[in-house]
Structure 1
Amino acid sequence: MNILIIPDKFKGSLAASEVISAISNGIQKVMPNANLHSVMSSDGGDGFLNAVAENLDCEVVTTDTVDPLGRRIRADYLLNRADHVAYIELAKSSGLELLQVHELSVMKTSTYGTGLQIRDAISKGATSIYVGLGGSATNDGGTGIALALGYQFLDGLENDLDSNGENLSKIRAIKKKEVVQDLNNISFYAVNDVDNPLFGAKGAAHIYARQKGANDSEIDALDEGLRNLDGIVQGNLGKNVAQSPGAGAAGGTAYGLQAFLNAEFVSGIDFMLNLAHVEELLQTKKIDYIITGEGKFDNQTLHGKLINGVVDLGKNHGVPVIVVCGQSEVATEKLASLHITEVLEISDASKPLEYNMENAAALTEKAVLTFFENLTET
């Protein structure tokens, strides 16, 4: 039997690599001769660099930068010198993972650290730069990245403004001074799998800012700030991209990459599946099952996230898909139309959440083992 394993992480519990290991262990205990093919994947968020490193031969570059609050740190990115391509994960310098809960302050945070990483990659010869979006602690519309690469944001008195959420509403002009080589010679790609616009009810602030520490009044202020930024960008740069699907990703960073750097939006799941040559695998091997999964399987999962891409892959190739998850909120009657053969919920309902999260690997292994035991007995 040939089985393809492409899971997401179980947030707060297991990395994608650990999910792969648990699923593999469960299968091999029942079918030790099964051929297992696994893909470390990412929708452009947390784990983006790990997924790229699994599929490409890249150098790890560690550079001086700053965290979302401007404190000095060192962070990694990947560089393929032969092809002049850099891969940067936004969360490494502008992510929630760098802040304690009491430090969350989306009005003050900035993507400037990610801009410094991009600048370093350009100085090392990168001419194509992929930025994996997700896990950001920011809502600055990508102005931090732009500031690091030579843009100036000015208030009504032509004073320079720092790049952060609270200053978005103060911007009255945008200017550009070159601090690196001509950015027109650099190709930028924003890798993500959300479809939110920059502002509005489904925009960056209203959908994502609360988890970054914003209260109701701050969310409204951030949304107005993003509207203001877009107005100035349209007037000064002639770019009208705020309503592009995905512009609101990572607090509007996707918008900033497109408005300031002419970035192309790239689907995270499509990017990773192409990188791993999954289509080629499906065409050359008789794959019996595709197994995917994440911590919580809900309706949001089915709108642009990694699992949605994997389900589509199974549907297109006629391969049954199994979803492993902590909990499922997707109605059973909906599964058949989605081409999902089985959903394996690993949670032990008799135990508290903490137990299930701490023992997620063992529970995943057990659920997969039980499924394939039952399969081989029928």
Structure 2
Amino acid sequence: MKIIIAPDSFKGSLNAVDAANSIEKGIRNTFPKAETVLLPVADGGEGTLETLVTATKGEIRDVTVIGPLGTEVRAAYGVLGDKKTCVIEMALASGLTLLKDEELSPLKATTYGTGQLIKQALDDGFTSFIIAIGGSATNDGGAGMLQALGLKIFNKDGNEIGYGGGELNKIALIEDDSFDSRIKACNFLIASDVENPLIGPNGASFIFGPQKGATPEMVETLDQHLAHWADHVAKLTGIHLHNLPGAGAAGGIGGAFQAFFPCNVKRGIDVVLEYSKFSEFLPNTDLVITGEGKVDGQTASGKTPLGVAQAAKSQDVPTIIIAGSIGNGIEALHEFGIVSIHSIINQPMTLKESIANAAGLLEQSAEQIVRAYFYSNSHNNKATSEISTNGLSET
């Protein structure tokens, strides 16, 4: 019996590695001799750097940068095992997890620190980049990142604008004479599954602004400011970000990459699965177990469980999802080779209680799931051949 364990993090409680370990413990409670392959994954958001570095036996380098609200934070970038590829996780420098709920401020939050990470990696000699842009706290169109890399963004008085999406309406002129020339000789792979345009009802501000603390009034303001930003970017580059697919990713930084960097965009989970060599572990696998904190209809848009299931289905391996919570619309997931979806919640409890006990709940859920799955298969002559008094026997 061979089981691949490939969860994302359960945000607020378990990182992907810890989640995988809890699932493995549950499996071994019933099948102590089962072959388990632990491949913790991520979808371009929080945990992507750690996942890629671990999978490739790379290293992490600490860097101090300007955080989302203009104060210094300790961040990092990763180097893959090939010693040539740099991984930058935007969330570490400009992410939501760096702020408390009461600190969220999309009018002020800046991507400047993300630009500093890129600059440090350039200074260290890297020319090949993977940029994971999920989990941002920002809505500045990537202006801060570009400023950190030398782009000059002036107001009508000839002074550079300040941090945040609230400053973008002040732009009078953009100059790229001092923009880091090394970028043209690099290649950037952007890990993002967001196809939203920069502005409008499906744009960065309206769709993602509220989760970053934007009120309805702020959303309107931010959208107008991003439109002003896009007008000036178009004047300089000829690239119209306004309705460009993917430009709205991470508060508009997706558009900044498309306008100013030589880059390709790829779904985050696909990047991680590729570098983790996920497909190479699938032969002779009986089951894949994946999961994350919440699974609902949005999961079908390209989040971790979907990407894992699609990869497994390509080799006819079934997938089961374990989630912290389950929302509406999960029916759409079954067509992608997902057998069933389970919540770790086994009795009435608060969110705080479920987070505090996530490891044990995940372990217990995994045990019961594999018992039920292989018990059913044993009666169809697909897996185990007998049920013992102490549990299910292994094949």
Calculate the TM-score normalised by the size of structure 1.
Answer: 0.94
Listed one character per residue, the Cα deviations across residues 175-219 of structure 1 (whole Å, up to 9, x for unaligned) are 013364432112222212222221111211111112222211111
Alpha carbons 2:51, 2:272 under 8 Å: kept: yes
> How far has the Cα of 1:335 moved from its partner?
5.1
Distance 1:26 1:93 in 2: 35
- Structure 2 matches for 1:1-378, cutoff 5 A? 1-80=1-80, 83-178=83-178, 180-282=180-282, 285-330=283-328, 334=332, 336-378=334-376
Q: Is the contact between residue 90 and residue 132 of structure 2 (CA under 8 Å) also seen in structure 1?
A: yes
Deviates more, 1:303-312 or 1:350-359: 350-359
Aligned residues: 376
The Cα of 1:37 is off from its aligned counterpart by: 1.1
**Deviation of 1:334 (Å):** 4.5
Question: Cα–Cα, structure 1 residues 207 and 332, in superposed 2: closer, same or farther, change >3 Å?
Answer: closer
Q: Distance in 2 between matches of 1:212 and 1:162?
A: 19
Q: Structure 2: which amino acid aligns with 1:15?
A: N
1:222-249 Cα deviation digits (max 9, x unpaired): 1111111111111111112443432211
Query: Cα deviations across residues 157-184 of structure 1 (Å, max 9, x unaligned)?
Result: 4332124101112222210133644321
Contact 1:81 1:126 in 2 (8 A): no
Deviations 1:111-150 (A, max 9, x none): 0011111111101101112211112111010111110111
**Is the 1:106–1:213 Cα contact (8 Å) retained in structure 2?**
yes
Quote how far apart the aligned CAs of 1:331 are.
5.4
Q: For structure 1, which segment, 130-139 or 338-347, has the greater mean C-alpha deviation from structure 2 after superposition?
A: 338-347
Q: TM-score, normalised by structure 2?
A: 0.90
For structure 1, the residue ranges without an aligned partner over 5 or more in a row are none
Q: Show CA shifts across 1:268-308 (max 9, x none).
A: 111111101112222xx311111111121100111121111
Shift in alpha-carbon separation, 1:101–1:232, aligned structure 2, 3 A: same
CA distance 1:82–1:136, change in 2 (3 Å): same
Q: Distance in 2 between matches of 1:354 and 1:39?
A: 27
CA change 1:25–1:100 in 2 (3 A) is same
User: d(CA) in 1 for partners of 2:90 and 2:327?
Assistant: 30
Contact 1:195 1:304 in 2 (8 A): no
Structure 2 residue identity aligned to 1:71: T
Partner amino acid, structure 2, of 1:318: D
Alpha-carbon distance in structure 1 between the residues aligned to 2:265 and 2:57:
24
**Whole-Å separation in 2 of the counterparts to 1:376 and 1:189:** 40
Whether the 8 Å CA contact 2:85–2:126 is kept in 1: the answer is: yes
Most deviating of 96-105 and 74-83: 74-83
Aligned residue number for residue 385 of structure 2: none
**Residue segments in structure 2 that go unaligned for 5+ positions in a row:** 377-395
Change beyond 3 A, Cα 1:182–1:239: same
Q: 1:342 is matched by which residue type in structure 2?
A: S
Contact kept, 8 Å, 2:53 with 2:79, in 1: the verdict is no
Specify the code of the residue in structure 2 equivalent to 1:364: L
> In structure 1, what is the Cα distance between the partners aligned to 2:194 and 2:2?
31
Judge conservation of contact 2:289–2:319 (CA < 8 Å) in 1. Answer: yes
**Larger mean Cα displacement after TM superposition, 311-320 or 146-155:** 311-320
**SS state at 1:182 partner:** helix
Amino acid corresponding to residue 108 of structure 1 in structure 2: K
What letter corresponds to residue 153 of structure 1 in structure 2?
A: I
Pairwise CA distance, 1:365:
1.2
In 2 relative to 1, CA 348–98 (structure 1 residues): closer, same or farther, beyond 3 Å?
A: same
Q: What is the Cα deviation at residue 333 of structure 1?
A: 5.4
| CA distance in structure 1 between the aligned counterparts of 2:322 and 2:115, rounded to whole angstroms | 37
- Secondary structure, counterpart of 2:314 in structure 1: helix
Q: Tell me the C-alpha RMSD between the 2 structures.
A: 1.9
Separation of aligned partners in 1, 2:252 and 2:345: 35
Cα distance in 2 for partners of 1:164, 1:135 equals 16
Equivalent-residue separation in structure 2 for 1:81 and 1:34 (angstroms): 29
The 1:209/1:323 distance shift into structure 2, 3 A limit, reads same
Q: Contact 2:27 / 2:370 at 8 angstroms: preserved in 1?
A: yes
Secondary structure in 2 matching 1:317: coil
CA distance in structure 1 between the aligned counterparts of 2:8 and 2:15, rounded to whole angstroms: 8
2-side partners of 1:59 and 1:347: how far apart?
36
Distance 1:363 1:80, change over 3 A: closer
